[in-house]
Structure 1
Amino acid sequence: MSPVEKGKGPEAQQIDTLHYLALGDSYTIGEGVAPRSRWPEQLAARFNETYAGDTALMLPPRIIARTGWTAAQLLSELEQEEGLLTSYDLVSLLIGVNNQYQRKPFEQFEADFQELASRAIALAGGAPSRVAVLSIPDYAYTPFGQQFSSPEDISDEINKYNGYIRSVADSLGLRFFDITPISRLGLQEPALVASDQLHPSSLMYRRWVELIEADIAEMLGWP
C-alpha cells in the first residue's frame, strides 16, 4: 500500500492506495466484453464501493493478459514487462485453458504454472497470502464448446488442469477460487456467455466477483 492525500488543506486525509496486478489470458483481459466489465476491473470497483470507503482506494488493475496466451507465453511476457512494481497488494493468476485447447504437453504446463505461481508470490512482495489463483472456466458449456465431438472430454481435461492448479496453490499457501461451477451454467443461462458464444459475459464475471470479493477483502486486511 502507498498513502495518497485526499482533499486539501490542514484537514487533508491520508488514504492507502492498493495496487493490483492481474495475470492471465482471454478470461482476464475480458475478450468479448467492455474493459470496465472485465472481472479484475469489476473486482476493483466492487472493493472500492463495498469495503474501502474513505480509508483506501484500489487503483485500476494492471493487467498482463492476452487472448490465446499459454502459461509459457505469460511467463515470457513477464520476463520482458517493464514498469512492474516490486510489491503488489494483490496478484491474481488465471491461466491454462490455451494449454488444454492447443494440446500442449501437460508436463510443460506443470512446470510453467509452478514458475508462474512463484513469480506471483514474488510480485506480491513475497507474501503468498496476497496471491489469488482462479480455476479455469469450462468452455464445454458454451455454444462454441458444444460444437466439439466430445464436450465431456473437454470437461475432463479442464478438471485435470484445475486439480493441478489447486494442488500448487495449496502447497504454496495461495488462495484458490473455484469459479468453474459458475462457468458450467453457460448452457442453461445463455446470458452468462458473451456474444462470441465462447467467453464469459459481464454477468458471469460479476458472479465470479460476487463469489470471491469477501475473501479478497480479507486477504487485503478488510473484515
Structure 2
Amino acid sequence: MNNGMLTYLALGDSYTIGESVPAEQSFPYQLSSELNKVSYKVSEPTIIARTGWTTDELIGAIRSRAMTQKFDIVTLLIGVNNQYRNYNINTYRTEFVQLLNTALTFANGNAKHVFVLSIPDWGVTPFASGQDANQIGSEIDAYNAINQQEAAKAGVSYVNITPVSRMAKTDASLTAADGLHPSAKMYGQWVQLLKEQVIKNIPN
C-alpha cells in the first residue's frame, strides 16, 4: 500500500493495454475506477503489456524492467498470441507458471492478491472471418484449461471472461472498431466479474 492507496500491476498483452480503445477504457483502468466508486482507494495501474506479446515476450519485458516494487493487486492475462502463432502448448504451461510465480512475487507472495483472467475467444470476431472459428475456440479452451489448472494450484483467483467474449458473436457493440479487440463495453463486463473477486479477496 502506498500512502493508503492500493497499488495495481496489470501484466499481459493487447487485452490488457486495451488496444483500439482509449487507455481509461481498458480493463485495468476501469477496474481501478470501479473499485474507487465502492470506497477503495486504488492508484493508477502500472501496466506491463503490449499488443502481440506471447508469454516469453512478457517474461523478457518484466525482466528488462527489473522492478522491485510490490503491489496490492496483480492481474495476469496472457496466451492468445501463443495460440495465434501456433506455439507449443506445453511451452505455454511452463512459461505461464513462470509468469504466475512472478505475479505472486510482485504481490509479496499473497495469492489472494493475484487474479488470472482467461483468454478471450477471438474466433467470434470479424477479424477471424474465413478462419475456422470452432478450431480457434477449441484451442483457446485448451489454453484456458492450462491457465485455470495452474491458477488453482497456486491458490489464486481465476476470472473466466471467455463466455463474455463469445457474446461478441451476436453483439457487435462488444467489439472495438478494429474488428478484433474488445470494446469498452465488453471490458466493463469483464471488470464486473473481476471486481467481485477483488472485493472478496481484498477486504476494504
Same fold per TM (> 0.5)?
yes
Counterpart in 2 of 1:64? Answer: 48
Counterpart in 1 of 2:57? Answer: 73
Deviation digits for residues 67-110 of structure 1 (CA, Å, limit 9, x no counterpart) = 0000000001111114441x200100000000000011111111
CA distance in 1: counterparts of 2:115 and 2:164, whole angstroms: 17
Please identify which structure carries the higher strand content: 1
Alignment RMSD: 1.0
Counterpart in 1 of 2:21? Answer: 33
CA distance in 2: counterparts of 1:76 and 1:147, whole angstroms: 33
Structure 2 unmatched runs, 5+: none
CA distance in 2: counterparts of 1:50 and 1:178, whole angstroms: 23
The amino acid that maps onto 2:180 is L
Aligned pair 1:196/2:184, yes or no?
no
How many angstroms does 1:2 deviate by? 2.8
Do the aligned residues in 2 keep the contact of 1:51 with 1:217 (CA within 8 Å)? Answer: no
Do the aligned residues in 2 keep the contact of 1:38 with 1:202 (CA within 8 Å)? Answer: yes
Deviation digits for residues 195-223 of structure 1 (CA, Å, limit 9, x no counterpart) = 0000000000001011221221222223x
CA distance in 2: counterparts of 1:163 and 1:157, whole angstroms: 10
Alignment TM-score, normalising by the size of structure 2: 0.97
The amino acid that maps onto 1:61 is P
The amino acid that maps onto 2:85 is Q
How many angstroms does 1:51 deviate by? 3.2
**Identity among equivalent pairs (%):** 39
Counterpart in 2 of 1:2? Answer: 2
51 and 215 in structure 1: CA distance in 2 versus 1, 3 angstrom threshold: farther
The amino acid that maps onto 1:151 is A
The amino acid that maps onto 2:152 is D
CA distance in 2: counterparts of 1:50 and 1:94, whole angstroms: 24
Please identify which structure carries the higher helix content: 2
Alignment match of 2:110 (pick from 111, 123, 127) = 127
How many angstroms does 1:146 deviate by? 2.7
Counterpart in 1 of 2:36? Answer: 48
The residue correspondences of 1:63-142 to structure 2 (distance < 5 A) are: 63-85=47-69, 87-142=70-125
The amino acid that maps onto 1:136 is I
82 and 147 in structure 1: CA distance in 2 versus 1, 3 angstrom threshold: same
Alignment match of 1:218 (pick from 194, 200, 203) = 200
The amino acid that maps onto 2:10 is A
Q: Number of residues paired by the alignment?
A: 204
Task: Extract structure 1 runs of 4+ deviating beyond 2 A.
Answer: none
How many angstroms does 1:177 deviate by? 0.3
Counterpart in 2 of 1:9? Answer: none
Counterpart in 2 of 1:143? Answer: 126
